[in-house]
Chain A
Amino acid sequence: MNLRRDVFQAIADPTRRAILLLVASQAMTAGAIAANFDTARPTVSKHLHILTECELLRQEQAGREIYYHLNPKKMKEIADFIEPFRQMWDDRFNKLEAIMKNYQANQ
């Protein structure tokens, strides 16, 4: 099985990218992750399964709860992980647009 290709397939999905970004800031349980999405809980579980299978996430048992952690080593292997970069520019340009609309209105 081509694991590398699987990683790229894993991050091709916007929900899975959003999950990775969420877990990047802190380890979370499946329930806490699902609470951030409108998607049905089983759908989120399926995404978590795929992300865990290709080692982008790893599970850790803490008492009765299972926490999902980001596997930064695996993340580094993805040279084409450009979504956060795109998001950063999108945020900047959205601000530019809002500021200049305001500027235009005040002229």
Chain B
Amino acid sequence: MEPKTKVHAEAGKQELVITREFDLPLELVFKAHVEPDLVEQWMGTKVLKLEPKKHGSWQFETTDPIGNKHGFNGVFHEFVPNRKITRTFEMESAPFGAQLEFLAFDELSPTTSQLTMHVIYRSVGIRDQVLQLPFAKGINMAHNRLQDTVNKLITNSL
């Protein structure tokens, strides 16, 4: 079966495209990007600020499994209801700087829709690092688990 979410990232380019078809009317997919309580639910983040308009800004804060807080922020350059969002996105705890995101919302039928996210990074190197983050996180988590085990062994032997 074809995956519902696709990521297109060509080698040597500083951009990528994420596409997703939703079994939802267009208005509901857009609403999920506007209402803070809905954003909090699907993004798994706390919404500190979300001004859904041109020149508005946004600020999220997530807490990782170890309890560390991570900030994310950006500004909206375009906000056209049910059509498109152009925004910047920056991870405060990473050295990548801002990335530019173009979100296009398209109706496929009255009950289905498609979201296309075109993301542009400052360099090819930064894009590749961001792409590998979820995998790197998996490796770090393995290290953290190892650290926990070692700490326990030390504590038990004292």
What per-residue 1/0 map shows which CB atoms of A18-48 lie under 8 Å from chain B? Answer: 0001001110000000000000000000000
Closest residue of A by beta carbon distance from B124: A79
Verify if B11 is at the interface (C-beta below 8 Å from A): yes
Give the interface of B toward A (CB within 8 A). Answer: 3-7, 9, 11, 18, 20, 22-25, 28-29, 31-32, 38, 41-44, 115, 128, 130-135, 138-139, 141-142, 145
- Give chain B's interface secondary structure class: helix
- Asked whether, in the complex, the Cβ of B145 is within 8 Å of the Cβ of A25, the reply is yes
- Asked whether, in the complex, the Cβ of A93 is within 8 Å of the Cβ of B5, the reply is yes
The 26 sampled A-B contact pairs (Cβ below 8 Å) are: A24-B139, A75-B139, A79-B11, A79-B132, A80-B11, A80-B131, A82-B9, A82-B131, A84-B132, A84-B138, A85-B130, A85-B134, A89-B20, A90-B4, A92-B44, A95-B42, A96-B42, A97-B23, A97-B24, A99-B41, A99-B42, A100-B28, A100-B31, A101-B23, A103-B28, A103-B31
Q: A80-B9, A80-B11 are in contact. Are A85 and B139 (CB under 8 A)?
A: no
Cα distance A80–B135 in the bound complex, in angstroms: 11
**Contact residue range for chain A?**
20 to 34
Cα distance A95–B24 in the bound complex, in angstroms: 12
Q: A70-B139, A97-B22, A103-B38 are in contact. Are A88 and B9 (CB under 8 A)?
A: no
What per-residue 1/0 map shows which CB atoms of A56-97 lie under 8 Å from chain B? Answer: 000000000000001010011001111011111110111111
Number of cross-chain contacts by CB at 8 Å: 95
- Asked whether, in the complex, the Cβ of A72 is within 8 Å of the Cβ of B139, the reply is yes
- Asked whether, in the complex, the Cβ of A89 is within 8 Å of the Cβ of B18, the reply is yes
Cα distance A56–B38 in the bound complex, in angstroms: 39
- Asked whether, in the complex, the Cβ of A93 is within 8 Å of the Cβ of B131, the reply is no
- Asked whether, in the complex, the Cβ of B135 is within 8 Å of the Cβ of A104, the reply is no
- Asked whether, in the complex, the Cβ of B138 is within 8 Å of the Cβ of A86, the reply is no
Contacts of B43 on A, CB cut-off 8 Å? 92
- Asked whether, in the complex, the Cβ of A86 is within 8 Å of the Cβ of B3, the reply is yes
Contacts of B145 on A, CB cut-off 8 Å? 25-26
Cα distance A70–B23 in the bound complex, in angstroms: 37
Q: A82-B9, A93-B22 are in contact. Are A24 and B135 (CB under 8 A)?
A: yes
- Asked whether, in the complex, the Cβ of B142 is within 8 Å of the Cβ of A85, the reply is no
Cα distance A72–B139 in the bound complex, in angstroms: 8
Cα distance A25–B143 in the bound complex, in angstroms: 8
Contacts of A93 on B, CB cut-off 8 Å? 4-5, 20, 22, 42, 115
